[in-house]
Structure 1
């Protein structure tokens, strides 16, 4: 069938709704409820793990050798490390992100007694008091604190209002959707990827597209802390394609337009055959793409492999500027991602042997080994070897 038409307006509406729901890793119940409700509205079959990871399902012609698409609904955030004598809160990060991007952020602190608003500030925040020390102060989580928007001038004041070590802190996304297609917000990683998944699923269901094998739509809840897809796959899944952000930065090939196909991350190369199939689909269906390698990056697919899942994995991304900071992408990348997902899921299964977890050598794949040469070069016979 090829790539399907993506409803970009629907996809951006999904992104806006997701960004409104705080969901740092460890505090994802409400975003799981939102995603589940939308999946059910679309008509997908949905089930949840004990902790709330989502496994939605659309049937294909056969169940064996199933395909899975995954993105994560959890985001970066912070957690209260200590109640300070000055009435402010010491923090540690949830996920790996720099305190440089936390300074000045508005946020919500979730306590057992209710939610409070606040601002993350450097320890020396007033230029009128500290003069140039504001610019020379070190950067890091020990050098930042959370000022609560309440009368808290001591540790006792914090305790009286219900603040406690371990309280979850959600960072405001501050999203902007611009007329030229740019989307600027915190937490595009990976709520923009989730929105692209919804865009692809909506197109497949709307067009009643025929799928060659069963497809699972997976939404993990702890990717930012390394857990990801480690407990989401069924035994029938043969291939897993993760959707996440690609780092559009100096020295990287990722872009805020088109699909960025990751060839490797810090855990090593992605599956040779699945990755190159995705590249071919981009070429065949005129989907803009680029290839990249990420050195300081891992995704849901890495957690699945590390958990012992013997599945082919790939990673397709939307390019993001200032990843894990105040991020930016373009709707062109999200639409291209969703188009590639539809092209992939409606494409024929090429490695039929993958329907079984273990089998013989018959049907096993090959990788090119012959020496490359230019088209005009003659073929020179090579000597036989005993």
Structure 2
């Protein structure tokens, strides 16, 4: 499937572009360049996201799909006396999930330094009870890969409080079809939307309804897709990730259709329509509930938009940690989105 190859290629590319919430300019520019190559009209909103438009046979009611390109990350909170850094988190991750991770520190001038996130007691040969140290913000540091022994020397590098810190995604695509990387939430869905848009453009198909695609850039902090929704939009579909774990039906091969998350139930008839479409196109799917989850669709409702809201996405293991999915999940999600966009 050529479109699947394109999706994987786009996914690997954008995974390797650092984009923590609040610092997404580089990846947004890449998305804009790709949309331009596809000949798809698009605009940028004031928050820094991108809205692409595919005109349909009817302008009303319109549809909107969203996926977010911002990721978890951190900022420099403090420069310690010994030159190491204290961080403050961006997004909802736990510090144990980034302990030992390589990271990139970007200064205000755009210079990038590398480092490693460690606990304050990293050596088993020195700290007898290191495992008892809580993995909290106060107990984690960044060890810079620069010759610096003091706060003054670190500042001379140009590093300051407020600089953005990105986690090395460590992207790998295996021969067995798995993609493992940080930030599959939600760059996997961004790549899927690009793939579906490319399919539609190249096929020459005219969609039944004008459809907007919002690539949002603040979802991880709660408000990426709660604005710039045209009044004519009736159905709003967030394309995010399906959470995997004990008690969940979602796996790494399916398109997950959300019935309820922490914000409450998603629109019943819309969900049932998505299930029916998945069955018609033989897309492997699971219906699931995500207990500690919120999406751009739920954010849009909280903002007061009068829309029918839904949520789907590829199944992703170990969310907000060392994530993994499979090419089959990407393909099944793309199948369902294409079926939805061409449906009446």
Q: 1:296 aligns with which of 277, 292, 295?
A: 292
1:38 aligns with 2:31: no
Which residue of the other structure, out of 89, 94, 97, is the alignment partner of 2:93?
A: 97
Structure 2 residue runs of 5 or longer lacking an equivalent are: none
Question: What is the SS of the residue equivalent to 1:235?
Answer: coil
Runs of 4+ aligned residues of structure 1 deviating over 4 Å after TM superposition are: none
Match of 2:240?
244
CA-to-partner distance for each residue in 1:67-88, whole Å, 9 max, x for gaps?
A: 1111000000001111111211
Query: Which residue of 111, 114, 117 maps to 1:117?
Result: 114
Kindly indicate whether residue 45 of structure 2 is the aligned counterpart of residue 49 of structure 1: yes
**CA–CA distance in structure 1, aligned partners of residues 30 and 216 of structure 2:** 14
- Supply the distance in 2 between the matched residues of 1:124 and 1:235 (Cα, whole angstroms): 54
Distance 1:232 1:334 in 2: 27
Conserved? CA contact 1:6–1:199, under 8 Å: no
Contact 1:28 1:74 in 2 (8 A): yes
How far apart in 2 are the matches of 1:258 and 1:232? 30
Match of 1:129 in 2: 126
1:353 aligned partner: none
CA contact (8 A) 1:111 1:162 kept: yes
Pick the aligned partner of 2:329 from 327, 333, 351: 333
Contact 1:6 1:339 in 2 (8 A): no
Q: 1:183-222, aligned counterparts within 5 Å?
A: 183-222=179-218
CA distance in 2, matches of 1:148, 1:257: 38
Aligned twin of 2:19: 23
Q: Does the residue aligned with 2:249 lie in a helix, a strand or coil?
A: coil
Tell me the distance in 1 between the aligned counterparts of 2:36 and 2:271.
31
Cα RMSD after superposing both structures: 1.1
Task: Give, in whole Å, the separation in 1 of the partners of 2:155 and 2:197.
Answer: 46
Using the alignment, how far apart are the partners of 1:277 and 1:243 within structure 2? 16
Are the equivalent residues in 1 in contact too, given 2:15–2:187 (CA < 8 A)?
yes
**What secondary structure does 1:34 align onto?**
helix
Per-residue deviation, residues 86-114 of structure 1 (Å, max 9, x unmatched) = 21110111001010111111111011241
32, 49, 59: which is aligned to 1:63?
Answer: 59
Aligned counterpart, 2:314: 318
Which stretch of structure 1 is more off in the superposition, 69-78 or 46-55? 46-55
Q: Which of 141, 145, 154 is residue 137 of structure 2 equivalent to?
A: 141
How far is the alpha carbon of 1:6 from its aligned partner?
A: 6.3
Q: Does 1:152 align with 2:145?
A: no
Higher alpha-carbon deviation: 203-212 or 88-97? 203-212
Task: Tell me if the contact between 1:6 and 1:335 (Cα under 8 Å) persists in the aligned partners.
Answer: no
Bigger CA drift: 43-52 or 88-97?
43-52
Contact 2:242 2:255 in 1 (8 A): no
Bigger radius of gyration among the two:
1
Q: How many residues align?
A: 343
Measured after TM superposition, the shift of residue 332 of structure 1 is 0.3
Secondary structure in 2 aligned to 1:92? strand
Contact 1:25 1:225 in 2 (8 A): yes
Cα deviation digits, residues 174-208 of structure 1 (max 9, x gap)? 00001111000000000001011111111111211
Structure 1 residue 135: Cα displacement: 2.0
1:210 Cα shift?
Answer: 2.2
CA distance in 1, matches of 2:5, 2:227: 33
Work out the CA distance in 1 between the residues paired with 2:181 and 2:203.
Answer: 31
Superimposed CA distance per residue, residues 226-268 of structure 1 (whole angstroms, 9 cap, x where no aligned partner):
0111112111111111111111111111111121100011000
Deviation at 1:115, TM superposition (A): 1.2
1:272-287 superposed matches below 5 A: 272-287=268-283
Aligned partners of 2:71 and 2:186 also within 8 Å: yes
Structure 2: distance between partners of 1:197 and 1:175? 20
Where in structure 1 are there 5+ consecutive unaligned residues? 349-386
The answer on whether the counterparts of 2:64 and 2:236 sit within 8 Å (CA) in structure 1 is yes
**Structure 1 residue 51, shift from structure 2 partner:** 2.9
TM-score by length of 1: 0.87
> Which residue pairs with 1:347 in the alignment?
343
* Deviation (angstroms), 1:285: 1.5
